[in-house]
């Protein structure tokens, strides 16, 4: 049995409880998780008897190589073909991914199902299974994290006078790729000076400035699996305010990591970071959550956010990334990729967390 077959078999066991006879999987990371397909157009119709994969002719050869279930290649709208297959299998209660299917597709599929068959919205069941990573997935994430850190080190060694945010982002992404990454896990963020106070700044023509922070948030994807890291540079000698801000965020990050262990609710990790920042009077300067799961997507459940109740489990791969942002001055974020283990956690990211003065 391949890993994909065993994932599908284990998912099918949940159908009775969900009161569905089959599930239409349309969200690509979920399709990849259940079939191995890496292309951009594919759907899986999964019933206890049969797994049918639908794609278009561009992916005929690729799906024959990658996908270990029945492959149907066709042109034109796919929903009529899905409905026909569902009718053939006499599926009466067809589950669909309610957060991933547009109203339009839902409406079109509903109109094409045979009389007596019904659509049943289903919430995040494949995503929930994806939270706990298998040993192979963990090794892949570990390797993605290593590339991430190595590309960061090579990238910052290439910093030269006059370099812009965009230039440094280009260097980092280039190194990633040469180190074997499929691609960046998201657009690399390089934010210089006061722009570091924008938590999601796109890199632009701003030069890296002396006497100011540079925030670098980056990820490398390997075999589909992501990594995520944020580090701060300081060009020159940081003053008191910069050091205090950095120190507070680092303390918050370590406190959050300390709260990562199986059984703890994910919201508790967020509370740990937030508590430290409150002590430093920085609670309002921290306006995002403390972290998120990652894997085939860069943002996956669980979310380390206020009041989140998901219990952490061994095998989850998550980020821990508190920050504090002060308009006009700059922001600090420190982020590691972390693995929940049986006894606590392992920080996968090897890059040191000293404030790197250049």
Burial of residue 234 (CB within 10 Å: 0-12, 13-18, 19+) is buried
Shortest distance, position 354 Cβ to a second copy, whole Å: 26
Q: Least distance in Å: CB of 164 to a second copy?
A: 10
Q: Which is nearer to a second copy, 61 or 358 (CB)?
A: 61
Is the CA virtual torsion 143, 144, 146, 151 positive or negative?
positive
**Smallest gap, in angstroms, from Cβ of residue 161 to a second copy?**
16
The structure tokens listed for 212 are 């100011």
Minimum separation from the CB atom of position 350 to a second copy (A) = 22
Q: Which of 5/202 has CB closer to a second copy?
A: 202
Alpha carbon distance 128, 222 (integer Å)? 22
The CB-side HSE value for 106 (13 A sphere, CA atoms) comes to 13
Tell which residue, 327, 351, 111, has the closest CA to residue 199.
327
Nearer to a second copy, 8 or 193 (CB): 193
SS3 category, 130? helix
Answer whether 332's CB lies under 8 Å from 232's CB: yes
Whether residue 74 contacts residue 54, with contact meaning beta carbons closer than 8 Å, is answered with: yes
DSSP for 319-349, please give it: EE--EEEETTTEEEE-BEEEEE-SSSEEE--
Q: Shortest Cβ distance from residue 8 to a second copy (Å)?
A: 23
Q: Nearer Cβ to a second copy, position 42 or 345?
A: 42
Residue whose CB is less far from a second copy, 5 or 62: 62
Q: Which is nearer to a second copy, 171 or 228 (CB)?
A: 171
* Minimum CB–partner distance for residue 169 and a second copy (Å): 7
We find the least distance from the C-beta atom of residue 207 to a second copy, in angstroms, to be: 14
* Sign, CA torsion 168/228/225/105: negative
**Shortest Å distance, C-beta 234 to a second copy:** 21
Nearer to a second copy, 191 or 348 (CB): 191
Q: Which residues contact 228 (CB under 8 A, 6 or more apart)?
A: 148, 185, 217, 218, 219, 294, 298, 319, 321, 335, 337
Interface residue list for a second copy (CB under 8 A): 38-40, 56-62, 75, 96, 98-107, 121, 123, 166-167, 169-171, 173-174, 176-178, 180, 182-183, 187, 197-202, 205, 287-288, 327
Q: Which is nearer to a second copy, 23 or 348 (CB)?
A: 23
Instruction: Please give the Cα distance from 214 to 234 (Å, whole number).
Output: 6
3-state secondary structure at position 218:
strand
Residues 6 or more apart whose Cβ sits within 8 Å of residue 101: 24, 26, 109
């Amino acid at each position: 049995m391949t890993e994909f077959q065993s994932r599908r078999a284990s998912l099918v066991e949940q159908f009775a409880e969900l009161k569905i006879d089959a599930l239409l999987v349309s969200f690509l990371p979920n399709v990849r998780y259940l079939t191995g397909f890496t292309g951009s157009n594919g759907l899986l119709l999964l019933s206890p008897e049969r797994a049918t994969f639908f794609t278009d002719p561009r992916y005929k050869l690729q799906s024959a190589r990658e996908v270990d279930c029945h492959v149907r290649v066709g042109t034109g709208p796919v929903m009529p073909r899905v409905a026909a297959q569902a009718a053939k299998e006499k599926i009466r209660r067809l589950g669909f991914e309610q957060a991933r299917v547009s109203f339009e597709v839902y409406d079109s599929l509903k109109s094409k199902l045979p009389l007596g068959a019904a659509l049943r919205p289903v919430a995040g069941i494949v995503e929930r299974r994806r939270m706990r990573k298998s040993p192979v997935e963990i090794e892949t994430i570990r390797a993605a994290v290593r590339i991430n850190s190595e590309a960061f080190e090579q990238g910052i060694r290439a910093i030269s006078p006059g370099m812009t945010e965009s230039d440094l982002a280009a260097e980092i992404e280039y190194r990633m790729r040469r180190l074997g990454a499929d691609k960046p896990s998201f657009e690399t963020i390089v934010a210089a000076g006061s722009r570091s106070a924008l938590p999601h700044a796109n890199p632009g023509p701003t030069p890296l400035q002396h006497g100011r922070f540079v925030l670098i948030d980056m990820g490398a994807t390997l075999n589909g699996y992501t990594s995520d890291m944020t580090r701060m540079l300081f060009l020159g000698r940081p003053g008191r305010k910069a050091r205090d801000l950095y120190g507070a965020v680092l303390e918050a990050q370590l406190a959050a990591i300390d709260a990562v262990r199986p059984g703890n609710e994910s919201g508790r990790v967020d509370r740990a970071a937030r508590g430290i920042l409150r002590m430093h009077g920085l609670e309002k300067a921290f306006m995002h959550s403390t972290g998120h799961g990652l894997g085939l997507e860069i943002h996956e459940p669980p979310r380390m956010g206020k009041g989140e109740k998901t219990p952490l489990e061994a095998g989850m791969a998550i980020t821990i990334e508190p920050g504090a942002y002060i308009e006009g001055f700059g922001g600090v974020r420190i982020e590691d990729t972390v693995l929940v283990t049986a006894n606590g956690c392992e920080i996968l990211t090897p890059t040191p967390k000293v404030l790197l003065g250049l």
